[in-house]
Amino acid sequence: MNTTPLTEAHEALGARMTDFAGTRMPLQYPTGIAQEHIAVREAVGVFDVSHMAELRISGAGALELLRFALLNDAAKLRVGRAHYTMIPNDSGGLIDDAYLYHLREHDWLVVANAANRGAVAERLSSLASGRDAVEVRDVSDLWSLLAVQGPGAAVLLDRLIDADLTAVRKNDTLSAGFAASPVRLARTGYTGEDGFELFVRPADVVEVWNAVTAAGAVPCGLGARDSLRLEAGFPLFGHELGPASDPRCTPFGWVVKDKAFAGREAYGEASCARRLVGLRLLGRGIARQGYRVLKNGAHVGDVTSGTISPLTRDSIAFAWLDAELAEPGSEVAVEIRAQQVSATLVEPPFFRPDARVS
């Protein structure tokens, strides 16, 4: 099993470790997932996400490749900007979802899910084969990645980093200095909160982690990362998205731009037998992945992710549901341990930071 440079630091903090996509990662710390979740919603938390995959795409032909390989349009990204995107396959589904960063002219970074590192690298390299002036490199082992997330993230990092964070907008990315360590800073994240991701050299990441936690960021594990992203209405590949998922049948269909892309012929016209929807349970129980969704006793859908929101205490879930039933406000039931628990369809996200009561 792989480790990150921070494995010993996590263990010293008493983290419960787990195998995630072949890397030993912290699931939670002794304070527990709920407290980590609340820390991110109310203050600031820090995640070690060094297991993520990073692919560097460079050369004068990089933009042409990325426009063809990805569903969102890389041509819309100026230098220093980033956006969410997806990587289509040749059968009308997905290889992965990802974030794309435009670092410099002719220089780009794709950050993909750890479990799909090989598949994404193979896809991009295959599409680059035979093209002039473009190079695809897997640089995952050259970077560690920290996510500093929460309403207090900017204030905390402003004391530690040599960049004017008031000038850094959401989805901006830039080079900066963190003490003696060069970092790539991006105002991005996977929690629904304001926050930053720091691409750090592995040799420097322990020092950066120690400085961030000493300044008050709460260490958070993959458990809180999952509950936060679900509460924020973000999908997870392998749950909401997969090789057979047409993104146009999800709330994230906006990533599919009207342009040529690899596999477009298999996409054809959008024909959604099922749609990805949000559920809020009206009774007790957790709708877990694979649980059946019922309407008048008939099987009409399947849960992909579910949890009890540590913030609102609501039981929330994503599910793929027969399209004719996928209207917000409709009622269905989730089968939990042979019991039918009523649920109502809602439009994600399940929580908006801008809706907090001050």
Residue 217 pLDDT > 90, yes or no?
yes
Mean pLDDT of the chain: 96
- CB contact burial 80-102 (16+ within 10 A = b; e otherwise): bbbbbbbbbbeebbbbbbbbbbb
Residue 17 pLDDT > 50, yes or no?
yes
What percent of the chain has a predicted confidence (pLDDT) above 70?
Answer: 99
pLDDT, average across residues 255-276 = 94
- 355 pLDDT band (50/70/90 cuts)? low
- Give me the phi and psi of 227, to 5 degrees please: -70, -35
Residue 79 pLDDT > 60, yes or no?
yes
Torsion of CA 63, 64, 69, 72, to 10 degrees: 60
Q: Kindly state whether residue 218 falls inside one of the protein's structural domains.
A: yes
Question: Final residue of a domain: which of 108, 124, 141?
Answer: 141
Instruction: Say which amino acid occupies 62.
Output: A
Cβ(138)–Cβ(68) under 8 Å? Answer: no
Torsion of CA 340, 342, 347, 349, to 10 degrees: -80
Question: Final residue of a domain: which of 141, 157, 175?
Answer: 141
Nearest CA among 180, 294, 302 for reference residue 239: 302
- 180 pLDDT band (50/70/90 cuts)? confident
pLDDT of residue 144: 98
Q: How far apart are CA 71 and CA 253, in angstroms?
A: 10
Q: Kindly state whether residue 264 falls inside one of the protein's structural domains.
A: no
CATH number at residue 333: 2.40.30.110
Three-state secondary-structure class, residue 79: coil
pLDDT, average across residues 192-202 = 97
Instruction: State whether 13 and 154 are in the same domain.
Output: yes
Instruction: State whether 90 and 120 are in the same domain.
Output: yes
The tens digit of pLDDT for each residue in 118-132 reads 999 999 999 999 999
The tens digit of pLDDT for each residue in 223-243 reads 999 999 999 999 999 999 999
Name the strands in the sheet holding 94-104, side by side, starting at the edge strand that comes first in the sequence: 82-88, 94-104, 107-112, 53-58, 135-138
Torsion of CA 200, 237, 20, 84, to 10 degrees: 10
Instruction: State whether 132 and 29 are in the same domain.
Output: no
CATH number at residue 132: 3.30.70.1400
Instruction: State whether 75 and 137 are in the same domain.
Output: yes
Domain residue limits at 293: 272-347
pLDDT of residue 354: 74
The helix or strand, by DSSP H or E, that contains position 341, with its residue range, turns out to be strand 339-346
Instruction: Say which amino acid occupies 347.
Output: E
Instruction: State whether 319 and 180 are in the same domain.
Output: no
- CB within 8 Å of 277: residues ≥ 6 apart: 301, 318, 319, 320, 321, 326, 328, 345
Q: Kindly state whether residue 61 falls inside one of the protein's structural domains.
A: yes
- 173 pLDDT band (50/70/90 cuts)? very high
pLDDT of residue 356: 60
Instruction: Say which amino acid occupies 151.
Output: P
Residue carrying structure tokens 């002719």: 106
Instruction: State whether 42 and 188 are in the same domain.
Output: yes
Q: Kindly state whether residue 257 falls inside one of the protein's structural domains.
A: no
- The pairing of strands 135-138 and 107-112 is unpaired
Neighbouring C-beta atoms of residue 182, cutoff 10 Å: 12
Domain count, the chain: 3
- Give me the phi and psi of 318, to 5 degrees please: -105, 150
pLDDT of residue 168: 97
pLDDT of residue 179: 86
Instruction: State whether 78 and 116 are in the same domain.
Output: yes
The tens digit of pLDDT for each residue in 305-343 reads 999 999 999 999 999 999 999 999 999 999 999 999 999
Residue 292 pLDDT > 90, yes or no?
yes
Indicate the pTM of the whole model: 0.96
Residue 357 pLDDT > 60, yes or no?
no
